Chains A and B, each alone.
Chain A
Amino acid sequence: AQTVTQSQPEMSVQEAETVTLSCTYDTSENNYYLFWYKQPPSRQMILVIRQEAYKQQNATENRFSVNFQKAAKSFSLKISDSQLGDTAMYFCAFMGLTSGTYKYIFGTGTRLKVLA
């Protein structure tokens, strides 16, 4: 069974600085997708970024980028120029493609606080 591990329950970063959130996963599949979702205090789940496992190039979305290491099964999220609005819970999610249902398996989350 697939598992997703986020080893940092809480992190903080100064505004305008860079922070990296870690995520590791375990799977026997070769074809899958990885996601980062942001959950602000309002409790919405907002897609931050997506990475296809077959792509070697790391995904980027404005200030958000990932470091995808397939062999190490690592998928970290880097937030550059952190803003107060980035304060939220961040969940890493795995989606395997062989089960046929494409459900998400989430990690336990990292609570990020951006300090003014």
Chain B
Amino acid sequence: EPEVTQTPSHQVTQMGQEVILRCVPISNHLYFYWYRQILGQKVEFLVSFYNNEISEKSEIFDDQFSVERPDGSNFTLKIRSTKLEDSAMYFCASSEALGGQPQHFGDGTRLSIL
């Protein structure tokens, strides 16, 4: 069964550094998402992306965050000038279509800011 793949599985970064989290969505999917889960808390929506542009972003997704689909397969989340509170699990998800289709999640990237 096709899967969403995320790399790296664990990223350790010094505060203030830039980090790029990578995702390869399922190949025929058109809608892409990033979610964040701070340890012990619920999963929170960050951003959705369709047709090479952001569809919606949450209040969490401020100017330090950006997303990009640099080629036909990768979907990246960039965090500029990381802060301690950015430490979390970041999940990428994709769906084939809208209208209630379930989103398929990757295994997540655990981001640790020191």
Contacts and interface: CB of A to CB of B under 8 A. Distances in A.
Question: For chain B, which range describes its interface: under 10, 10 to 19, 20 to 34, or 35 or more residues?
Answer: 20 to 34
B56 A99 contact: yes
Contacts of B100: 32-33, 50, 52, 95, 97, 102
Contacts of A95: 100
Interface string A18-51: 0000000000000011010100001111110010
B75 interface: no
Contacts of B95: 102
Interface stretch (A62-70, A75-83, A106-114): A106-114
A40 B50 CA distance: 29
- Interface centre among A46, A52, A109, by most B CB within 10 Å? A109
Interface of B: 31, 33, 35, 41-45, 48, 55-56, 89, 91, 93, 95, 98-105, 107-108, 110
Contacts of B33: 103-104
A103 B33 CA distance: 8
B50 to A, nearest CB: 8
A35 B108 contact: no
A109 B42 contact: yes
Given A52-B100, A95-B100, A100 B43 contact: no
A37 B110 CA distance: 19
B101 to A, nearest CB: 8
Counting contact residues on chain A (CB < 8 A from B), the size range is: 20 to 34
Contact of A103 (B48, B99, B105, B107): B48
B43 A106 contact: yes
10 contacts: A37-B105, A42-B107, A43-B89, A45-B91, A45-B108, A97-B99, A101-B48, A103-B45, A103-B56, A108-B41
Contacts of A107: 42
Given A91-B42, A109-B42, 20 more contacts: A37-B105, A43-B89, A43-B108, A45-B43, A45-B108, A50-B100, A91-B43, A97-B100, A99-B56, A100-B56, A102-B48, A102-B99, A103-B33, A103-B48, A104-B35, A104-B43, A104-B103, A106-B42, A106-B43, A108-B42
A103 B21 CA distance: 20
